[in-house]
Chains A and B, each alone.
Chain A
């Protein structure tokens, strides 16, 4: 079960950087001694995490941007669960 609430607000964890990597054709998160490559949808989720938007707003934005995709809400919550679990994100509110 997800511990993420739609009213939660997240930001990238301290000392972490998110950027597009041309050579890999994907988004990555960089941090001391490590990096992760984010496949398609995962990158789209993290791209919208900015310390201001709530999870609910991010879900709505993604639904609008990818209207043809079905049932993405559970995938988005899954991505938040993973990113919080791995400490790539920190909760700001």
Chain B
């Protein structure tokens, strides 16, 4: 996830929440198999923050130094107050980004966003084929996305595309890049699936092979040379196939802050999967306390919390021990080294996951799509499901 900020954050003052992600709702018309949202999101759909609470959060975060704002979800356009939120963000001086599936974007709304000062729109695309788009999102949204892309361009917005890469579209890399070029993309992020939330549940069904990833990267590099600087292409390398973990979120509580639909304040998207850790909520203590004082935000800052093999590792500052959520989800211990690291005693869990993705029995299991019905099952059977994650996602 360090690629998210193009690697420039290292030159930026530390310990300010420069990036604020507002996950304004978990409701979503799409049902993507790779969604990183919590599997139990259904318990956060009835208690969303009000417009006034969002405006207050934007003001407070801006005072603390937040400047890049992502408005995400779920599908943010399912709320009818995004226009107000966007206008307030602009007034406060944020560089704002609407992260959307495109469902619900109309001429009227995009006009209002433009007038309100929204800086850009990031549109998710899934494949060049209608079949795969509709399969992986469990919807019929292919044609709509093409239409929305044209609308975004037509309103003078930069074309910023995000394509999550998995087994079902990785073979179409060249065609996906050509599609982006044809749509006039200024930026495209090819985000190899990382395994959290729903994508962890569907890991064996989504994960491509190492050979497929290498080939995809080769095609991407070739394309990058061809198009030159007119399109910025980011290829987010999947950590499972690396020897060292990612410096997740550029460090816990270093530059990223997320406010979720129900007001929880998190240092990363999936932090609530760390059971036993209590996160602050804007309804109670406010953002400043959350960022500076809350036990949750201080828990994994820096390197003091580390155990072996991280504690004495000469690379510990480089990756800060990787991702706490990944450690917890796979080993049951958030303070363990990220199992991606070959120095971790748990690396075999990653190798087994890679092997599982080639196991015909596992890879052919039906995908569990992200939808309210499935989410309610996770809410009801929380504990049981989480134990299942550890054994066999």
Mark A residues whose CB is within 8 Å of B.
14-15, 17, 19, 21, 23-24, 28, 30-37, 87
1/0 per position for B314-353, CB-CB distance to A under 8 A? 0000000000000000000000000000000000000000
Which positions 213-270 of chain B face chain A at CB distance < 8 Å? 229, 232, 234
1/0 per position for B174-213, CB-CB distance to A under 8 A? 0000000000001101000000000000000000000000
The answer to whether the Cβ of B49 comes within 8 Å of any Cβ in the partner chain is no
* A-B CB contact pairs (8 Å), 23 listed: A15-B120, A15-B158, A17-B119, A21-B65, A21-B67, A23-B63, A24-B65, A28-B67, A30-B67, A30-B68, A31-B95, A32-B97, A32-B122, A32-B187, A33-B6, A33-B122, A33-B187, A33-B189, A35-B5, A35-B8, A35-B67, A37-B8, A87-B232
Known: A17-B95, A21-B67. A34 touches B6 (CB 8 A): yes
Known: A15-B186, A24-B16. A35 touches B95 (CB 8 A): yes
Contacts of B157 in A (CB 8 A): 15
Q: Is the CB of B68 within 8 A of A23?
A: no
Contact among B18, B64, B232 for A35, CB-based, below 8 A: B18
Known: A37-B12, A87-B229. A19 touches B6 (CB 8 A): no
Known: A33-B234, A34-B5. 4 other contacts (CB 8 A): A33-B6, A34-B8, A35-B67, A37-B13
B14 smallest CB distance to A (angstroms): 11
- Taking chain A's interface residues, is the majority helix, strand, or loop, or is none over half, making it mixed? strand
* Bound CA–CA A58/B8 (angstroms): 26
Question: Which of A14, A15, A30 has the most C-beta atoms of chain B within 10 angstroms of its own C-beta?
Answer: A15
Contacts of B122 in A (CB 8 A): 32-33
Known: A15-B119, A32-B97, A32-B120. A23 touches B4 (CB 8 A): no
Contact-residue bracket for chain B: 20 to 34
1/0 per position for B76-104, CB-CB distance to A under 8 A? 00000000000000000101010000000
Contacts of B63 in A (CB 8 A): 23
Q: Which residue of B lies closest to A24 (CB)?
A: B13
Q: Is the CB of B11 within 8 A of A33?
A: no
Contacts of A23 in B (CB 8 A): 13, 16, 63-65, 67
* Bound CA–CA A31/B232 (angstroms): 12
Contacts of B232 in A (CB 8 A): 87
Contacts of A19 in B (CB 8 A): 93
Q: Is the CB of A24 within 8 A of B64?
A: no
The answer to whether the Cβ of B20 comes within 8 Å of any Cβ in the partner chain is no
Question: Which of B16, B68, B95, B157 has the most C-beta atoms of chain A within 10 angstroms of its own C-beta?
Answer: B95
The answer to whether the Cβ of B160 comes within 8 Å of any Cβ in the partner chain is yes
Contact among B12, B13, B186, B229 for A32, CB-based, below 8 A: B186
Contacts of B158 in A (CB 8 A): 14-15, 32
Q: Which residue of B lies closest to A20 (CB)?
A: B93
Q: Which residue of A lies closest to B3 (CB)?
A: A33
* Bound CA–CA A21/B234 (angstroms): 27
Q: Is the CB of B8 within 8 A of A32?
A: no
Contacts of A31 in B (CB 8 A): 95
Contacts of B12 in A (CB 8 A): 24, 35, 37
* Bound CA–CA A28/B16 (angstroms): 14
A60 smallest CB distance to B (angstroms): 29
* Bound CA–CA A35/B66 (angstroms): 12
Contacts of A24 in B (CB 8 A): 12-13, 16, 65
* Bound CA–CA A28/B8 (angstroms): 11
B98 smallest CB distance to A (angstroms): 11
B140 smallest CB distance to A (angstroms): 28
Question: Which of B67, B120, B232 has the most C-beta atoms of chain A within 10 angstroms of its own C-beta?
Answer: B67
A35 smallest CB distance to B (angstroms): 6
Contacts of A35 in B (CB 8 A): 5, 8, 12, 18, 67-68, 95
* Bound CA–CA A19/B18 (angstroms): 14
* Bound CA–CA A35/B5 (angstroms): 8
* Bound CA–CA A13/B122 (angstroms): 19
A24 smallest CB distance to B (angstroms): 5
A22 smallest CB distance to B (angstroms): 8
